[in-house]
Amino acid sequence: MTALLAFDTASESMIVALASGGRLRSHTGAGGAKASATLIATILRLLGEAGLGLRDLDAIAFGRGPGAFTGLRTACSVAQGLAFGAGKPVLPIDSLLVVAEEARSGASEFRVWATIDARMEQIYAAEYAFANGRWNMLHAPMLTDCDALSRRWRSAPAETVAGDAIVAFGTRLETGDAILRPEARASAGALVKLAERAWRDGTGVDPAQALPLYVRDKVAETTLEREAKR
């Protein structure tokens, strides 16, 4: 049976999942920059509980972003290092697609804008559609803000909007008549489902080709920018 290790540290939560022998083992902890201190130890613990070594895995999946800069670097470098040492392929998974999969809740047809609060008054967003057993990307992951996203949805209404940006920005994010899934977050179950599909589709890459998805070139506000908001 397929054995897959998957993890995502793009957001405030670190998700680690190990699917093997028909069982899912998982852990959720602090993500972003804090994940660098616990990710490898958590992976080794889950492997130990399952009685597996890295060479017993079929592939290693990671959330490639978009998301917190340090979190993306952590997940990518750990995936590359472990996969290279074990001689395994890497499965890069869009972190926004994990949110979309969690929001789908098993629906056979589903169209959704997945959102993540990007801080600094910005939003990571992408639109996906699920049909015939697979996801298709309609709008690639982007860095945007409330005004731009609201304008987009006024001209082309969203069917469903999911993710923590709904909570973070409240009524400033004009979602129109869209169905809202503010509780949808990246989860171990959703991440593993996407990793299993990627494995079946043969989309694994060499560790050297596994790269983070950056859509932001600025990771912090200047002192003057922070003071201007006070």
**Structural domain contains residue 217:** no
Q: Would you mind telling me the total number of residues written for the chain in this entry? A: 230
What is the pTM (predicted TM-score) of this model? 0.91
pLDDT digits (tens, 9 = 90+) for 196-216: 999 999 999 999 999 999 998
pLDDT at residue 226 greater than cutoff 90: no
Same domain? For 153 and 202 the reply is: no
Residues 142 and 197 in one domain: no
Q: Is residue 176 part of a domain?
A: yes
Tell whether 10 is covered by a domain: yes
Structure tokens belonging to residue 70: 């340090």
Examine the domain organization and report whether 41 and 121 are in the same domain: no
Q: How do 4-8 and 179-181 pair as beta strands?
A: unpaired
Q: 112 and 145 share a domain?
A: yes
Task: Of 40, 53, 43, give the one whose Cα is nearest residue 188.
Answer: 43
Nearest to 105 by CA among 185, 8, 14, 176: 185
108 plus 144 within the same structural domain: yes
Residue 218 has pLDDT above 70, yes or no: no
Q: Specify if 106 maps to a domain.
A: yes
Whether residues 49 and 121 share a domain: the answer is no
For the chain, percent of residues with pLDDT exceeding 90? 88
196: domain range?
4-95+186-209
Of the two residues 145 and 1, the one the predictor is more confident about is: 145
Quote the CA–CA distance of 223 and 156 in Å, as a whole number: 37
pLDDT for 1 equals 74
Number of independent structural domains in the chain:
2
Tokens representing residue 131 in the block: 């049909």
Give 3-state DSSP helix, strand, coil % of the chain, rounded to 5. 40, 30, 30
CB-based contacts of 187: which residues, under 8 Å, 6+ apart? 15, 98, 102
Q: Which two three-digit tokens encode residue 33?
A: 């920059």
Angle (CA) 9-107-96 rounded to 5° is: 25
Domain of 47: which CATH number? 3.30.420.40
Rounded Cα gap, residues 33 and 45, in angstroms: 20
Q: What is the mean pLDDT of the chain?
A: 93
Question: Using 50, 70 and 90 to split pLDDT, how confident is the model at 131?
Answer: very high
Region 165-184: what's the mean pLDDT? 97
Domain shared by 86 and 105, yes or no: no
Residue 43 and residue 73 in one domain = yes
